[in-house]
């Protein structure tokens, strides 16, 4: 008799435990299977970073708030699993180029190295969703004109060049930027590598809706050789 009572109690506890599990599973997405950890990695693959910030977040009383801009990039880094190292903390910079529309025209960056003596340069470009770098070219100074190569490591980007015929159906260029010379573009997807078509020609990158993190390699970057299409743009 005592054995039957113990057996019944065990069955009762088991049923209660199962009901609790079922209740927890009911709150989960229909696309997941309860208690199956393998599905979590699949869900993360389906998630995409998206636009969260506007100019209202980046300007205080009409003045650009660089710290707010930095926080927006840190949010994107967290999504993409990019650690913010002490070197990045010390060397990270943001630029709105004096255009006053950081939501649409601006960037963050890290110069990993910019060595005039050895003539090489490595850069990380950070673009929030839909954000573009102002159209620019690099001309010869005391140093050779900068020749660049880009690889997308997160998200994707439009890669524009003034070399080549105009590509149909371009994305909308922000009115704050003004007209552009670069009418030829390709969509540069994750892992793809693209070279500057010709030295001293105008070009720019614009992030897709997921934002973009782009690795860049080049010869030495001399800021004196930087030329913008927008006459008000500056770095």
**Has residue 36 got a pLDDT over 50?**
no
Tell me which residue of 159, 140, 169 sits closest to 214, measured CA to CA. Answer: 159
* pLDDT of 20 over the 90 cut: no
d(CA 205, CA 187): 10
Instruction: Please check whether residue 184 is in contact with residue 165, taking contact to mean a CB–CB distance below 8 angstroms.
Output: yes
**Mean pLDDT of all residues in 57-66:** 97
Lowest mean pLDDT among 26-30, 126-130, 227-231: 26-30
Instruction: Record the pTM.
Output: 0.81
Count how many Cα atoms sit within 13 Å of the Cα of residue 162 in the half-sphere of its side chain. 13
CA distance 210 to 63: 27
The answer to whether 139 touches 164, Cβ cutoff 8 Å, is no
Q: How confident is the model at residue 28 (pLDDT cuts 50, 70, 90)?
A: very low
- Give residue-wise pLDDT tens across range 132-157: 999 999 999 999 999 999 999 999 99
């Amino acid at each position: 008799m005592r054995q039957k009572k113990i057996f019944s109690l065990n069955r009762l506890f088991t049923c209660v435990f199962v009901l609790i599990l079922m209740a927890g599973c009911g709150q989960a997405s229909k696309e997941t299977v309860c208690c199956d950890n393998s599905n979590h990695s699949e869900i993360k693959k389906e998630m995409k970073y998206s636009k969260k910030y506007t100019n209202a977040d980046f300007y205080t009383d009409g003045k650009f708030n660089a710290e707010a801009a930095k926080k927006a990039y840190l949010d994107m880094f967290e999504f993409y699993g990019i650690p913010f190292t002490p070197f990045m903390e010390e060397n990270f910079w943001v630029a709105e180029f004096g255009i006053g529309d950081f939501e649409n025209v601006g960037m963050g960056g890290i110069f990993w190295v910019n060595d005039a003596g050895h003539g090489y340069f490595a850069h990380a470009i950070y673009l929030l969703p839909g954000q573009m770098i102002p159209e620019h070219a690099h001309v010869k100074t005391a140093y050779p004109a900068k020749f660049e190569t880009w690889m997308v490591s997160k998200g994707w980007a439009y890669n524009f060049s003034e070399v080549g015929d105009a590509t149909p159906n371009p994305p909308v260029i922000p009115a704050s930027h003004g007209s552009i010379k670069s009418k030829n573009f390709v969509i540069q997807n994750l892992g793809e590598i693209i070279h500057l078509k010709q030295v001293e020609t105008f070009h720019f990158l614009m992030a897709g809706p997921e934002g973009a993190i782009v690795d860049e390699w080049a010869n030495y970057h001399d800021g004196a050789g930087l030329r913008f299409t927008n006459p008000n743009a500056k770095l």
